[in-house]
Chain A
Amino acid sequence: MPQQMSQSTDRYPINPQLLAFSYARDSAAQSGCSVLDAAFERYFNLIFPDFVGGTGLSNIWSEPKPFTVSVKVKNGECDGFPDEGSNESYNLSVSAGQAVLKAESVWGALRGLESFSQLVYQDDYNLYFVNKTEIEDFPRFQFRGLLLDTSRHYLPMPAILKTLDAMAYSKFNVFHWHIVDDPSFPYQSRNYPDLSSKGAFHPMTHIYTQSDVKRVIYHARLRGIRVVPEFDSPGHTQSWGKGQPDLLTSCYKGKVPSGTFGPVNPTLSSTYQFLNGLFKEVTSVFPDSYLHLGGDEVDFTCWRSNPNVQAFMAKMGFGSDYTKLESYYMENIVNITAALNKTSIVWQDVFDYRERIPMDTVLEIWKGVPADYRAELGRITLAGYRVLLSAPWYINHISYGQDWRNAYTVQPQNFSGTEQQKKLVIGGEVCMWGEYVDATNLTPRLWPRASAAAERLWSDEEKTSSVDKAFPRLEDFRCTLIRRGIQAEPLFVGHCKHEYSGL
């Protein structure tokens, strides 16, 4: 739901033959602007899903009139990547025969085109119309992310690209790619090819090559979506150990190594050399200014069992406080990232070592019920850190019924704190962890449930406070998604005019 919108019942016909997208004369972006040229083509097909060329029936009924969508962008950014500073605001004015879309940047123009495409509808005779409309729109939160987990199950490229398409339809702007974890390491590294050749489920079929990664970033860019990769450590790294000997801590049983491995070994300088090399590569591959470093759920038992780690603890004066060791490790890798001019995102666990991490680090809140995450939001923003909220949006957790309502009614800034603190909430993320999800069930599990969170992150909270009012809109929207080839599951009983025709 846009921030400001007024509509009248005056409607204007649109003939697919005579719809033209054009750049306004005084637009900074002109023909040849890769982002918008591609978007025009895309949105033409999205607006007219059954257009196959040739003359429609439409001109039997009325004199066909041309309709122009004129786009004016103040600053180009046609060849850039969306990033944290990107301006996504736009104004859209629809009147007889034309729509005028004005935006600061191409990223805002993309959001406006999406809104325009949602304004166009078909009547009972399948003729297309759009009503007289004025929209002034901008996102409530700058960071509106969706996490996919490609380690617990490998997600083939079409599944990822399709998710990016659907994200754009819900105005998400960050793809948080939880690309590796304990079970597998599908990222094919240029510098450390063994990581995937030994750590992926299969070295040839279950990996993302450099060109796959490029393709994802490219596909995302054209839709105004940032790609923030996560290389989670020091925990969640079992798969790393297969292709990088000595990276992981060797666990001990009594005085002898047990043959199993724990988190990354934080005591060795070789560890940091490796991570420096890996992150250097990763930051050159992924253009976004953010890098997610993980830092969650570190199990200390293996570290405790290892005599070398114990010796290091003694040497550093950490006593038996292993959180200090973790914090030492996190400080080191955050510094590596900072030296590469990237901003770090870490899971909230890392906040407990805040004295050691730079103030521009973003903390992602993932734990707990509303009472807990509200307390965390208050606590972390009070310390002056920026936060991302994902705790209420773990939509891999499924249940019977309309759980989208829970995702919708989240109030990300409803915690005790100053106005300043509330501004430190830069957004949120929907997380689809992969324990029970792969290409067979990802899409219907994501959509339209994620769309509920997307509205919370984009729209004005007061104007969208009613779940019941959202219900019919979301029902319509899910049929729109189906029409666009996204197999979004139903909210409740009912039907779509055009049902999903796949399996």
Chain B
Amino acid sequence: RLATLKVNVWTLLLTVTVCDGWLFDGFAARRHSESDEVALWPLPQKFQTSVDAFRLSSASFQIVHAKESTAGPSCSLLQNAFRRYYSYIFGNGRKHGKNLENVFDADLAELQVQITSADPECDGYPSLKSDESYQLEVNQPTAVLKAASVWGALRGLETFSQLVYEDDYGGQNINKTSISDFPRFAHRGILLDSSRHYLPLKVILANLEAMAMNKFNVFHWHIVDDQSFPFQSRTFPDLSHKGAYHPYTHVYTPADVKMVIEFARMRGIRVLAEFDSPGHTFSWGKGQTGLLTPCFSGSSPSGTFGPVNPILNSTYDFMTRFFKEVSTVFPDAYIHLGGDEVDFSCWKSNPDIQKFMDQQGFGQDYRKLESYYIQRLLDIVSTTNKGYMVWQEVFDNGVKLKGDTVVEVWMNNNVDKELQNVTGSGFTAILSAPWYLDYISYGQDWKKYYTVEPLNFEGTAEQKKLVIGGEACLWGEYVDATNLTPRLWPRASAVGERLWSDENVKDVGSAYDRLVKHRCRMVRRGIPAEPLYIGFCPHEYSGN
């Protein structure tokens, strides 16, 4: 395939130029070549570049709507993106090299962005079906970015900004380039956990920025769990009032949630909220009396509580009202319902539950009780017209699922078998098992994440198509605002390229060289992405 060949030739070339003088060579001795500064991440599907370079003048360069575009100045999503990428390219209030004498033959005057679909989706939300493909032609005097919708345009703008490099005089340059790009997987997510530790809004927003720099498109918001319930519900205000770490300082108000969703939308990122039950719900019980199962010690209640009580009608009434609200707050077509790691010991201890088990004929199989609960919950959520995602146990336990259910595979034993089973049953799957980024270790563990091949399981081509993507998960036991960002980036970038680029883009050596620069680019854009190994960035992180 020609496309792949091009990619390989290019990465080879990149490796050679990049290895020469990035790490240890003295600055003075460093040879400068045009492609030296360019490090695309994730690597586009097809592209060609030449040594012809054009200069970008901060005074006159513009990003504009193409005449033929179906979007125009009223498309605020693009207007904002144009400004954002202009700032990334030229820096905020940085001095510009516009007084330099002519070094190159010509300037690149503008980037024209052309949306080709009748509906550019300016005011829409990105979805699983969004078309993120784009074509980018950089040539004098105008570069043209074509995309069916704004979602592809956003990806193309990111790529364009990564093509621009700074010369030794501080001027901005770009080479003649031709790119045709699209994602390998439609679901490319990052999970953040705002329950084990509360994450201030600022941290969430910064990570949405970083996600866009890495072409991620799903923010999986594990918003509540055992430890705290920071989501402020309009219908059940006591949930956060009593279940958050602090009822005012450690909550997400409706306005906060709106802001996250809008900030994400502007970057082509879906916000997928997870309200995990029946386990992982300890904090729910504080503000919703009677929701959790009272655990028994012998024949009397022990005063502690277990998972959601699945035998009461009040439970399902609550869930109906609660998810009705959730489904209106979060515009995404999917809700993540969790369903993982249910501990049966409390259910077992409770005589009412035992009675219910008998009535239902479940015997001693508490998985059946769990399935009973999940089944009813799924029916409730179905009435809100949302699709749902669940952790793999729900599938494993044989719960009857709607055809469009997405099963998230997270258990790191028998991943291949699980993917085979899930897709074999006709369900779509998302892979997160190899990408639990909260598990840290000494050294360059990004390589481990990078070399995962999601489709390496046995199955038909049809089955493989059912794997729609993956997620890097940063669970919050040991993570809060103090260490989240450097722990996530650039390690998650490795996952980002795996999910976007062609499967043949897998050379760790060339990835290293590009990723070193990409991390410096993130640092320069204000994201404290940690180093991969020894070395430096021309512009180091300057702190908080």
With beta carbons under 8 angstroms apart, the residue of B478, B536, B543 that contacts A401 is B478
With beta carbons under 8 angstroms apart, the residue of A158, A198, A206, A492 that contacts B536 is A206
Q: Is the CB of A436 within 8 A of B533?
A: yes
With beta carbons under 8 angstroms apart, the residue of A152, A183, A398, A500 that contacts B481 is A500
- State which residues 140-163 of A face B: CB under 8 Å: 152-154, 156, 158-159, 162
Query: Which one of B147-155, B173-181, B194-202, B343-351 is at the interface?
Result: B194-202
Q: Is the CB of B535 within 8 A of A494?
A: no
With beta carbons under 8 angstroms apart, the residue of B480, B487, B541 that contacts A500 is B480
The residue among B203, B250, B440, B486 with the most chain A CB atoms within 10 A of its own CB is: B486
In the assembled complex, the Cα of A502 lies from the Cα of B528 at a distance in Å of 11
Q: Is the CB of A499 within 8 A of B540?
A: no
Residue of A nearest to B438 (CB): A400
In the assembled complex, the Cα of A444 lies from the Cα of B379 at a distance in Å of 44
- State which residues 496-544 of B face A: CB under 8 Å: 523, 526-536, 538, 540-544
Residue of B nearest to A400 (CB): B439
| Interface membership of B26, Cβ < 8 A | yes
In the assembled complex, the Cα of A137 lies from the Cα of B228 at a distance in Å of 40
Q: Is the CB of A439 within 8 A of B198?
A: no
| Interface membership of B227, Cβ < 8 A | yes
Q: Is the CB of A489 within 8 A of B27?
A: no
In the assembled complex, the Cα of A400 lies from the Cα of B437 at a distance in Å of 10
| Interface membership of B443, Cβ < 8 A | yes
| Interface membership of A201, Cβ < 8 A | yes
CB within 8 Å for A439 and B535 given contacts A400-B441, A489-B482, A500-B482: no
With beta carbons under 8 angstroms apart, the residue of A434, A436, A440 that contacts B529 is A440
In the assembled complex, the Cα of A153 lies from the Cα of B206 at a distance in Å of 24
Interface string of B124-157 (1 = CB under 8 A from A): 0000000000000000000000000000000000
In the assembled complex, the Cα of A198 lies from the Cα of B26 at a distance in Å of 6
Query: Could you tell me the distance in whole angstroms from the C-beta of B301 to the nearest C-beta in chain A?
Result: 26
Query: With a CB–CB cut-off of 8 A, which chain A residues contact B535?
Result: 153, 183, 201
| Interface membership of B365, Cβ < 8 A | no
Question: Secondary structure of the B side of the interface?
Answer: loop
Query: With a CB–CB cut-off of 8 A, which chain A residues contact B538?
Result: 202, 205
| Interface membership of B246, Cβ < 8 A | yes
With beta carbons under 8 angstroms apart, the residue of A152, A397, A482, A501 that contacts B202 is A501
CB within 8 Å for A203 and B442 given contacts A436-B533, A493-B227, A493-B476: no
The residue among A398, A400, A435, A440 with the most chain B CB atoms within 10 A of its own CB is: A440
Q: Is the CB of B530 within 8 A of A441?
A: yes
Query: With a CB–CB cut-off of 8 A, which chain B residues contact A495?
Result: 197-198, 228, 245-246, 250, 480
CB within 8 Å for A501 and B24 given contacts A156-B542, A158-B542, A397-B442: no
| Interface membership of A266, Cβ < 8 A | no
Residue of B nearest to A481 (CB): B482
Query: With a CB–CB cut-off of 8 A, which chain A residues contact B542?
Result: 156, 158, 439
In the assembled complex, the Cα of A159 lies from the Cα of B26 at a distance in Å of 24
Query: With a CB–CB cut-off of 8 A, which chain B residues contact A445?
Result: 483
In the assembled complex, the Cα of A242 lies from the Cα of B481 at a distance in Å of 41
Query: Could you tell me the distance in whole angstroms from the C-beta of B225 to the nearest C-beta in chain A?
Result: 9
Q: Is the CB of B198 within 8 A of A436?
A: no
Q: Is the CB of A399 within 8 A of B442?
A: yes
Query: With a CB–CB cut-off of 8 A, which chain B residues contact A487?
Result: 481-483, 544
Query: Could you tell me the distance in whole angstroms from the C-beta of A216 to the nearest C-beta in chain B?
Result: 16
The residue among A396, A493, A502 with the most chain B CB atoms within 10 A of its own CB is: A493
In the assembled complex, the Cα of A242 lies from the Cα of B26 at a distance in Å of 8
In the assembled complex, the Cα of A152 lies from the Cα of B486 at a distance in Å of 18
Query: Could you tell me the distance in whole angstroms from the C-beta of A171 to the nearest C-beta in chain B?
Result: 21
| Interface membership of B477, Cβ < 8 A | yes
Query: Could you tell me the distance in whole angstroms from the C-beta of B483 to the nearest C-beta in chain A?
Result: 4
CB within 8 Å for A436 and B531 given contacts A488-B482, A499-B198, A500-B481: yes
| Interface membership of A66, Cβ < 8 A | no
Interface string of A409-451 (1 = CB under 8 A from B): 0000000000000000000000000111111110111000000
Q: Is the CB of A503 within 8 A of B485?
A: yes
In the assembled complex, the Cα of A310 lies from the Cα of B476 at a distance in Å of 58
Q: Is the CB of A183 within 8 A of B24?
A: yes
In the assembled complex, the Cα of A490 lies from the Cα of B196 at a distance in Å of 10
With beta carbons under 8 angstroms apart, the residue of B246, B440, B536 that contacts A399 is B440
Query: With a CB–CB cut-off of 8 A, which chain A residues contact B482?
Result: 443-444, 482, 487-490, 500
In the assembled complex, the Cα of A206 lies from the Cα of B536 at a distance in Å of 9
In the assembled complex, the Cα of A302 lies from the Cα of B256 at a distance in Å of 61
Q: Is the CB of A154 within 8 A of B485?
A: no
Question: Secondary structure of the A side of the interface?
Answer: loop
Query: With a CB–CB cut-off of 8 A, which chain B residues contact A482?
Result: 482
| Interface membership of B461, Cβ < 8 A | no
Q: Is the CB of A199 within 8 A of B26?
A: yes
| Interface membership of A497, Cβ < 8 A | yes
Query: With a CB–CB cut-off of 8 A, which chain A residues contact B494?
Result: none
- State which residues 150-204 of A face B: CB under 8 Å: 152-154, 156, 158-159, 162, 183-184, 197-203
Interface string of A388-409 (1 = CB under 8 A from B): 0000000011111100000000
CB within 8 Å for A156 and B250 given contacts A183-B24, A201-B27, A489-B482: no
- State which residues 463-497 of A face B: CB under 8 Å: 482, 487-495, 497
Q: Is the CB of A202 within 8 A of B27?
A: yes
| Interface membership of A327, Cβ < 8 A | no
Query: With a CB–CB cut-off of 8 A, which chain B residues contact A250?
Result: none
Query: Could you tell me the distance in whole angstroms from the C-beta of B184 to the nearest C-beta in chain A?
Result: 29
Interface string of B17-44 (1 = CB under 8 A from A): 0000001101110000000000000000
In the assembled complex, the Cα of A492 lies from the Cα of B246 at a distance in Å of 17
Query: With a CB–CB cut-off of 8 A, which chain B residues contact A89?
Result: none
Q: Is the CB of A490 within 8 A of B480?
A: yes
In the assembled complex, the Cα of A156 lies from the Cα of B523 at a distance in Å of 14
The residue among B440, B523, B527 with the most chain A CB atoms within 10 A of its own CB is: B440
Residue of A nearest to B539 (CB): A205
In the assembled complex, the Cα of A399 lies from the Cα of B442 at a distance in Å of 7
In the assembled complex, the Cα of A183 lies from the Cα of B23 at a distance in Å of 8
- State which residues 60-91 of B face A: CB under 8 Å: none
Q: Is the CB of A203 within 8 A of B540?
A: no
- State which residues 199-220 of A face B: CB under 8 Å: 199-203, 205-206
Query: With a CB–CB cut-off of 8 A, which chain B residues contact A438?
Result: 530-531, 536, 540-541
Query: With a CB–CB cut-off of 8 A, which chain A residues contact B394?
Result: none
Q: Is the CB of A503 within 8 A of B203?
A: yes
CB within 8 Å for A398 and B544 given contacts A440-B486, A489-B482: no
Query: With a CB–CB cut-off of 8 A, which chain A residues contact B439?
Result: 400
Residue of A nearest to B533 (CB): A435
Query: With a CB–CB cut-off of 8 A, which chain B residues contact A441?
Result: 483, 486-487, 528, 530-531
| Interface membership of B479, Cβ < 8 A | yes
Q: Is the CB of A158 within 8 A of B543?
A: yes
Q: Is the CB of B528 within 8 A of A152?
A: no
Residue of A nearest to B536 (CB): A201
In the assembled complex, the Cα of A2 lies from the Cα of B202 at a distance in Å of 38
Query: Could you tell me the distance in whole angstroms from the C-beta of A380 to the nearest C-beta in chain B?
Result: 27
- State which residues 238-259 of B face A: CB under 8 Å: 245-246, 249-250
In the assembled complex, the Cα of A200 lies from the Cα of B245 at a distance in Å of 47
Query: Could you tell me the distance in whole angstroms from the C-beta of A339 to the nearest C-beta in chain B?
Result: 33
With beta carbons under 8 angstroms apart, the residue of A159, A198, A435, A503 that contacts B206 is A503
Closest 4 CB pairs between A and B?
A: A502-B544, A444-B483, A441-B486, A440-B528
Q: List 21 A-B contacts (CB under 8 A).
A: A154-B536, A156-B543, A183-B535, A199-B26, A206-B540, A242-B26, A398-B441, A400-B478, A435-B533, A441-B528, A443-B482, A488-B482, A489-B480, A492-B477, A493-B197, A499-B198, A499-B250, A501-B200, A502-B202, A503-B481, A503-B528
The interface of chain B, by Cβ under 8 A from chain A, is 23-24, 26-28, 196-198, 200, 202-203, 206, 227-228, 245-246, 249-250, 438-444, 476-483, 485-487, 523, 526-536, 538, 540-544
Q: A489-B478, A490-B482 are in contact. List 17 more A-B contacts (CB 8 A).
A: A202-B27, A203-B27, A203-B28, A206-B540, A399-B440, A400-B438, A400-B439, A438-B536, A441-B531, A487-B544, A488-B482, A490-B480, A493-B196, A495-B480, A499-B198, A499-B200, A499-B481
